[in-house]
Amino acid sequence: MKKLTLFSIFLAAVVIILGAYTRLTDAGLGCPDWPGCYGNLTVPLSEEKVLQANAAFPERPVEAFKAWNEMIHRYFAGALGLCVLAIAIIAVRQRDKGTPVKLPLLLLGLIIFQAALGMWTVTLNLLPVVVMGHLLGGFSVISCLFILYLRLRNTAGGAPKTKQAPIASAMHVQGITDLPQTKTFQRNLKLFAFVGLGVLVTQIALGGWTSANYAALACTEMPVCESGWQERIDIAGAFSVPDADNYEFGAHDYGERVTMHIVHRFGAVVTFLYLLALGINVLVSRNATNKQKYVSAFMLVALCTQVALGLSNIIFMLPLAVAVMHNAVAAVLLLSLLNLIFTVFRILENDQVFNSEKQSKAPFSVSEPLQGAYRKQQAFRNKQAFRNQQARNTSLHESEYASLLGSFQDPLSGSTSSHILPKALGGFHG
């Protein structure tokens, strides 16, 4: 199941890249129906099938390049759906072995909803809300798969959680001696990492909204936009859905697209500064583990790469390869932040296991009344054992003394006497 999950992560990454490529090549409606393409399982290529397709959809004649982009994306998405279904079935069958069940079932429901969003993307003619939701759904699927893989890898095939190394051992390896301070740092890191996750997801949603409304090139100058952008700001219009029969190539006016682009830029600055501060804080802290520092360093590299790709999109007028990589690195950045959060959960969870083990080894250290009762009981047992030992010693001495007397023989008659002293010559009895 772990290998299947890892393969599904790779497949989900391919689907995200293909989805971005399909959107950026304006192939979202390359096949105007769903799930087939002009009523076929593949793109119609023969002259007869092309004529039939054009007759069935006269408003959208066949464009083989765009149609293949759309269908290849659907093929890979379908394969991902089958993998997620297999993961859910395996999880249910192996639930008695400690295999996670809720997350695979959540993944199955998510992939079904994602398929519905893909259908609505076509049937609703690229409605921006649906397109952005489809993008976020893809990121959600790969995130859940990644978390499932981390759980499967860290449980080592379903091993009990209590067998994992406690926090004291992990901190000892790092040379950290102030354990309370370390736990405080980990709890604070958990909070700030979750805030960073919210900031990053919001920024990804802003990027999806900008792309879905074809506003990526609304501003082509730095650092904000062309001169006079302040007069064009329209927040309400930028984040509304205008009435239109077809949303291909956008339905908002120029001022609303400028607003989308500027908000996305400001969101990029906020996201960059926050995640930069978070990553540097982990790197310089002596209360962070080596793994957390490694994950933070990787996150910072992905963050800087993402900013460079975003700037390249503006400077070089949205090159296709750069725009696709901008989507892919956003997914990598999201997964690295999730990995950092997962390490915090593992440390805090191991700390709880360690504390419970300590309490189970000292059951009478819970409260003073229990300690007093335990001491009294031990004192009574010790006194009783001492008395029993004295009784055994006394009985032993008496038996040895009787044996000594019984073995004393009369020197004249050779008979055994029960008297303490033998009869003397002329005796004291005479």
The closest of 305, 134, 110 to 205, measured between CA atoms, is: 134
Cα(first)–Cα(last) distance of the chain, in Å?
Answer: 108
CA distances from 366 to 109, 191, 359 (A): 46, 31, 8
Burial class (CB in 10 A: 0-12, 13-18, 19+), 7: middle
Cα–Cα distance, 288 to 304 (Å, whole number):
22
Contact in structure between 249 and 217 (CB atoms under 8 Å): no
Backbone angles phi, psi at 289, to 5 degrees: -80, 165
The closest of 14, 9, 13, 68 to 42, measured between CA atoms, is: 68
Contact in structure between 214 and 249 (CB atoms under 8 Å): yes
**C-alpha 390: how far from its chain's center?**
65
Name 37's bridge partners. 40
Contact in structure between 34 and 118 (CB atoms under 8 Å): yes
CA distances from 318 to 53, 136, 251, 314 (A): 33, 21, 20, 6
**C-alpha 214: how far from its chain's center?**
33
> How many residues are present in the chain?
430
Nearest-5° Cα angle at 150, 147 to 155? 130
Long-range CB contacts (within 8 A, 24+) of 279-283: 279/303, 281/192, 282/189, 282/340
CA distances from 204 to 139, 271, 383 (A): 9, 10, 74
Cα–Cα distance, 30 to 302 (Å, whole number):
32
State the catalytic residue, choosing from 47, 70, 221, 231: 70
Contact in structure between 343 and 288 (CB atoms under 8 Å): no
Residue 226 a catalytic site member? no
The closest of 423, 425, 400, 429 to 410, measured between CA atoms, is: 423
Cα–Cα distance, 294 to 298 (Å, whole number):
6
Q: Which residues are part of the catalytic machinery?
A: 70
